[in-house]
Amino acid sequence: MKPHRARRRFGQNFLVDDAVIDAIVAAIAPRRDDRMVEIGPGMGAITRPLCERLHRLHVIEIDRDIVARLRAGPLAPRLAIHEGDALAFDFYGLGDGLRIVGNLPYNISTPLLFRIAEHGDAVADIHVMLQKEVVERMVAAPSASDYGRLSVMLQYRFEMERVLDVPAAAFRPVPAVESALVRMIPRRPLPHPARDETLFAAIVTAAFAQRRKTLRNTLKGRVEPGDFARLGIDPGLRAQDLRIEDFVRLADAALVRKKS
């Protein structure tokens, strides 16, 4: 079978560093009967050691040539291969207690993270490798320069831990950016549940839409001055200064006003 050429349209960069592979598998710590799904198995760098430790591994792959290789390869008896786009995949269909792993394509990493978060109640944990600057945003704390919409929306549902930095040289072809492995564990129960999560998401999006503007301006028409005063939140602050629970309180206040 001819060597596979990485395809830019799929954001393919294949992991080749054995030491990094070993460190990632050790961080995942797979157990024989885990219900695990790998997003984008590629050339099998992580797939092979996972298959050695698991009874069965689900893989999601959009590249038809890679799917053909997987189906014809030695790992096939241990694989459940799902051909298609991970952005459209029904993770619920695999059952509860799902462990998600993968080297996520840089070009779809953020929408894919939000897609996975939608299935959070079916997930046991997530270990994914992404562009390092994306991981920095995911784990950022309030008032940090990297803290933003991605930080709030993911930390609302997950405990986040940056586990391992991965140099660009660990991939072929070598990407222009560094990567990092992040661990995400669902918060159960949610420590600060919003009464209307759609409205919560809208409030967060609006607040960060113009980062330099104050909440008084970004949330005008959604949150009234009296709401800020009642909640003890300074409307002169910017979005990056708020904690997740503050955004929840603002969204709940906006919901009450919306219903009145």
**The domain that contains 244 carries what CATH number?**
1.10.8.100
| CATH code, domain carrying 149 | 3.40.50.150
From 167, 186, 205, the end of a domain falls on: 186
What's the half-sphere exposure (Cβ side, CA atoms, 13 Å) at 159? 9
Query: Are 152 and 241 members of one domain?
Result: no
Structural domain includes residue 110: yes
Which pLDDT does position 1 carry in this prediction?
43
Global model pTM greater than 0.85: yes
Range of the domain at 242: 197-259
Inside any domain, residue 191: no
pLDDT of residue 12: 58
* Size of the chain in residues: 260
Does residue 3 fall inside a structural domain? no
Same domain? For 130 and 226 the reply is no
What are 138-178's pLDDT values in tens digits?
999 999 999 999 999 999 999 999 999 999 999 988 988 99
Could you write out the three-class secondary structure of the chain? CCCCCCCHHHCCCEECCHHHHHHHHHHHCCCCCCEEEEECCCCCCCHHHHHHHCCCEEEEECCHHHHHHHHHCCCHHHEEEEECCHHHCCHHHHCCCEEEEEECCHHHHHHHHHHHHCCHHHEEEEEEEEEHHHHHHHHCCCCCCCCCHHHHHHHCCEEEEEEEEECHHHEECCCCCCEEEEEEEECCCCCCCCCCHHHHHHHHHHHHHCCCCEHHHHCCCCCCHHHHHHHCCCCCCEHHHCCHHHHHHHHHHHHHHHHC
Residues 139 and 203 in one domain: no
Nearest 5°: phi and psi at 36?
-120, 145
182 with 214, same domain? no
Quote the percentage of the chain above a pLDDT of 70.
95
Query: Within a domain: residue 82?
Result: yes
Q: Which of 127, 154, 186 is the last residue of a domain?
A: 186
CA gap 139, 159 in Å, rounded: 9
Number of CB atoms found within 10 A of residue 122's CB: 19
Q: Do residue 149 and residue 207 come from a single domain?
A: no
Do 75 and 172 lie in one domain? The reply is yes
Residues facing 35 on adjacent strands: 98
Residue 107 has pLDDT above 60, yes or no: yes
- Same structural domain for residues 72 and 161? yes
137: nearest Cα among 125, 156, 155, 124: 155
Q: Distance from CA of residue 26 to its chain's centroid?
A: 20
**Total of domains in the chain:** 2
Contact 40, 104 (CB under 8 A): yes
Encode pLDDT of 20-31 as tens digits: 999 999 999 999
83 with 61: CB under 8 angstroms? yes
Q: Using one digit for the tens of pLDDT, what is the confidence trace for 54-80?
A: 999 999 999 999 999 999 999 999 999
**Domain termination site, one of 136, 167, 186:** 186
Domain assignment present for residue 126? The answer is: yes
